Each structure stands twice: as C-alpha cells, then as structure tokens.
Copies of this chain bind each other. A is one copy, B any other.
Amino acid sequence: MSITIPAPADFHVHLRQGDISELIVPHVRKGGFDLVYVMPNLKPPITSTEQALQYKAELEKIDSNVEYLMTLYLSPEITPEEIRKASAAGIVGVKSYPRGVTTNSDGGIESYETYYPVFAAMEEVGMVLNLHGEVPSDPSSNIHVLNAEVQFIPHLFKIHQAFPRLRIVLEHATTRAAVEAVKKCGPTVGCTITAHHLALIVDDWAGQSWNFCKPVAKYPDDRQALQDVIKEGHPRFFLGSDSAPHPPEAKSTSTPTHACAAGVYTSPILLPFVAHLLESFDALNKLEGFVSTNGRSFYQRPYSSQKVGRDFVTIKKIAPRKVDELYTLGEQKLVPFWAGKEVSWEIEESA
C-alpha cells in the first residue's frame, strides 16, 4: 500500500543555529517535508527583518531544496514599521512566547495589549500571529503546567475579537479545551497539532524526560480530542511538529538542581511517524489534509506554487521497523523521538 499526497508542510519547527543546524536542517527533507515554518527563538531571538533574512540564508546554504517560511519573535523591538518591512521582505509571521515557559523564552511577553499596534499592522499586511498558548505557572493562582493552556484561552478569544481579520495560529494545542476554543473562532484562527501530542499523555513523561516537552502532554481525554479533530478533518487544524532538538545528555540526565530540556525531536521521521499515528486511530484518510492541504490553505501556500522541492510525496506501508536511535555529524549527536520503537511507513524515494 502506498499513499501519494501534495507536498507536506511542517508549520512549526526549530532549526536552531550554528553547527547543530548542519545536522538538523537536512532532516527536514529526510522526514518528507520541503516547506517549514521556522521558529525565531534563537540566541539572541530573531527580532528584525535583517536577522530573519540572514538566518534564512544560513538555512538555505545548508539545504536549498527546502522553502523556509520565516518568523519574528514578538518583543518590544517589533514595531508596526518593522512589521511592514518584514512583510515586504517575505517574512510570514510573528511568534509570541509567554515569558519563561519554554526554551529561550526569557524575552517572552507579559501583556498582549501593548502589542495591539503591532497586531493592527500585521492584520493590515496579512502577517500571521503564532501564539504559544500557555500562561506562566503561578502556584499562588493554582496555575501549573497542566492547566497553563486552558488558562490561556481567554487571551486567544480577546486577540481574535480585537483583530478578527488577523490570521492567528494557536500553536501545538494539547487540550480538548483548546481544540474547542479554536473551533469556536472564525476562519482566521488556525491551530497546529504536533505528532508527539497525538502519541503521549501525562503518564508518558512522568519520570521519562525523553517524552518531556512544552506544552506537556495532557490527559487521555485531551489526546482523544486532538485525534478526533484530525479524524473529523477539520480544515483549520494542521501539522506543526514543534520538532525541537536538544543534545542527548540534556534530554537523558537531570541533576538534583538541573532539569532535563523540554522538547522532542521528530523532524527526521516526521511524515512516516504521522502516517503511523493517524493509522493507529483510523484517520489515514485525513493525512493529506492534516500534513499538507489544511495548513497550506491557511497560510496561502498552495503546493502548486512551491518554489523548491517536490510537488508530491509518496509513502508506503512496510513491515514495522525500528526508528534510528542516533544521528551524528562530527561531534553533533541527536536522538529522535520514538527511538527504538517501530514505525510501519516509509517515504518512497523518487526514481
């Protein structure tokens, strides 16, 4: 059995910078993707058009057969003027991180109203606002990693109401409440779902740091809601892998005073893995929409206008095969999510 779909697109990926990018970037195509939406949480964060274009050039130097959609990091440096400049330069979106909730988010924002002039400019020029939809934990208000996303939902509604024509993506939804919230919104609000959140629940990251990511995987009923909205074929929900590589030792080992890194790395196995998961909950017939056409439609990136890469990708069913346990390049090492577990799909290489 094989399935051919219009070129898939990963609408949320971390490609890092420096030497490690040399290992990561080629994994985009290895995983079946020729278009990626690139997160701006570098050190320092990408806050200007120049930085974004320079970063894009670095990525293209590593693999010019992938289309990189670039983003800026929402912060005080971002002005309406910068938005217009960025849009004119082809930068697609602006990512908002709440302060301190994930990797390199120390510069994250605390209040959205401050940015309303920026959002107005984005709405005007057609840029997309990408929301990391969690509020920071606050024990005194009983806010913790399990309800941080649910507590964020009022912010989504408020921004959407204030800027109904602004395209907004709620990134890496993990809860039933978030799925329902996005459904309630108008056609300008989309939602990415990662591969790993279709597989994991809270039990899976209890004591198992390889499954630890932000937002953390939630309860079984939440995972069910993510699976159901894909199975339903809802057009505003699409894949954003949030593939986030960390050195193996940062994933494997904590000390009493230092936790493991949050994030799982799915890029090199992404399309076969997503097919494997969708098959597990009987949604393989929604693969095309979930990994390709829904997101491309929301982002107005039809595969027919793809500048580089494949127009179609074919995957075929295989006997279950173990995922690679390690990728290396010189000193650089990465262990993918699902390492040592089986996947029963592979990408058919073009002749």
Contact = CB atoms under 8 A, between A and B. Distances in A.
Interface of A: 137, 139-147, 201-203, 205-210, 212, 216, 219-221, 223, 252-257, 259-262, 325, 335, 337-341
Contacts of A254: 207-210, 252
A146 B144 contact: no
B140 A207 contact: no
A207 B144 contact: no
Secondary structure at chain A's binding surface: helix, strand, loop or mixed?
loop
Contact of A260 (B141, B207, B338): B207
A203 B212 CA distance: 12
B212 A206 contact: yes
Contacts of A201: 139, 144
Contacts of A144: 201-203, 219-220
B253 A207 contact: no
Number of copies: 2
Given A219-B142, A220-B139, A207 B202 contact: no
Contacts of A146: 146, 202, 219
A99 to B, nearest CB: 15
Which of A145, A202, A206, A259 is the most central at the interface, judged by chain B CB atoms within 10 Å of its CB? A206
A291 B221 CA distance: 39
Given A144-B202, A146-B146, A220-B139, A257 B340 contact: yes
15 contacts: A139-B201, A139-B220, A143-B220, A144-B203, A147-B219, A206-B216, A206-B262, A207-B209, A207-B212, A207-B262, A209-B260, A252-B254, A256-B339, A256-B340, A257-B340
A219 B145 CA distance: 9
A260 B201 CA distance: 17
A253 to B, nearest CB: 5
A259 B219 contact: no
